């Protein structure tokens, strides 16, 4: 999907897990406003994505892998 918006995916997982934005901010060592900023972005650096993936125990990198595999299958 060309329209992958990683911020919205992160926000979706946070909500689905019943977690609060402040909890995620504490887990990755930043303030809540930074997390709200991440929610608005369609890109994220890999180090931050790794921290978020570990905190939420969710493999966000798999979303990108799936996207690459679907493009190469075409």
Predicted pLDDT of residue 71: 77
- More confident position, 22 or 71: 22
Q: Say yes or no to pLDDT of 1 above 70.
A: no
Angstrom distance (rounded) from CA 38 to CA 34: 6
Distance CA 35, CA 28 (A): 10
The residue whose two tokens read 């991440």 is 38
Residues whose CB falls within 8 Å of the CB of residue 1, separated by 6 or more in sequence, listed in order: 67, 70
Residues 25-56 pLDDT 10s? 999 999 999 999 999 999 999 999 999 999 99
Average pLDDT over the chain reads 93
């Amino acid at each position: 999907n060309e329209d992958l918006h990683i911020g919205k995916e992160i926000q979706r997982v946070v909500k689905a897990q019943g977690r609060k934005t402040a909890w995620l901010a504490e887990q990755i060592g930043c303030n809540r406003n930074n997390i709200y900023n991440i929610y608005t972005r369609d890109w994220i650096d890999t180090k931050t994505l790794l921290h978020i993936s570990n905190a939420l125990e969710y493999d966000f990198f798999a979303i990108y892998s799936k996207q690459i595999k679907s493009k190469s299958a075409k």
